[in-house]
Amino acid sequence: MNKIRFTKMHGAGNDFIMVDDRDGSFPVYDYRRIAAMGTRRVGVGCEGIILVQKSNNADFRMRFFNPDGSEAEMCGNGARCVAAFAREIGAAASDTMKFETMAGIVSAELLPGNLVRIGMPDPKEIGEDFAVTGVPHKIVSVENITKVDVEREGRAIRMSAEFAPGGTNVDFVEYRLPGTAIVRTYERGVEAETGACGTGAVASAVIGVLDYGLEFPVAVKTMKGFELIVDGKCEGRSVSGLSLTGPWRKVFEGELDWGGLGDEV
């Protein structure tokens, strides 16, 4: 493979490279070039590379790679974007669909106004300011979200012995009753603050409802001004029926020269 066609999309400011890989030709084990593809200045640049592949269990399969080349189980905003992308390329036959991820089968629905709603897996684990919503998230409640040094504080928690060896994503959250959370996320694999984080929005909402007095639905706001809606049901310490709704946008399409990619890195 010398040339790769791709589409650049973003979901609430969280940006992704989308690739139609239904023919299975994408070199998924070439982590160095995948990382170069996701690196700004030498590649396209993104916060995740997403492949649409064939599936025997759903409309299609979503595979998600971090910009460092590692593969992750799930990405909420990426899942919303891939639903729109799959509909466009014909991998999904209607505006409602199901697709396979490493975290399980995800349902999605395209809504008017460039919105997508996805059903999120029930949390696998809920602890003190911690939730696994497809991927692990440590929640740090703060009084003023604008004063947080996300890069420094997030990296320290992500790399701490408490979460070794895999590490964790870190969400700094300013909660506002009855149902608003302003969130900034340090994402593992990106190793930086991202424009938004769908699984982080869900984790922040879940912990907000369980421990900080919020009620579903929760409006999760990003620093770039986008809004994600997290809904669900809560009974005691049990949370189920989670959904994530928010905007998506196609930015541009292009073709990447795979052969020489990453030689400079």
Name the pairing type of β-strands 218-221 and 180-187.
parallel
Active-site residue, selected from the candidate residues 46, 81, 197, 234: 197
Longest dimension (CA), the chain: 55
Instruction: Record the tokens describing residue 122, joined without a space.
Output: 């029930």
Percentage, residues of the chain above pLDDT 90: 90
Tell me the per-residue pLDDT of 133-143, one tens digit each, with 9 for 90 and over: 989 999 999 99
* pLDDT band of 1, cuts 50, 70, 90: low
Tell me the per-residue pLDDT of 177-235, one tens digit each, with 9 for 90 and over: 999 999 999 999 999 999 999 999 999 999 999 999 999 999 999 999 999 999 999 99
* pLDDT band of 264, cuts 50, 70, 90: low
* Stretch among 117-121, 129-133, 216-220, 255-259 having the lowest mean pLDDT: 255-259
81 is catalytic: no
Looking at every residue in the chain, the average pLDDT score rounds to 95
Report which of residues 207 and 258 the model is more confident about.
207
Contact 60, 91 (CB under 8 A): yes
46 is catalytic: no
- Residues forming a β-bridge with 116: 110, 246
- Structural domains of the chain ordered from first start: 3-114+249-257 (3.10.310.10), 125-246 (3.10.310.10)
Active-site residue, selected from the candidate residues 46, 75, 81, 234: 75
Q: Does the structure show a pLDDT above 80 at 130?
A: yes
Round to whole Å and give the CA distance between 115 and 12. Answer: 10
Q: Does the structure show a pLDDT above 80 at 262?
A: no
pLDDT at 42: 86
* CA triple 181-250-78, angle to 5 deg: 50
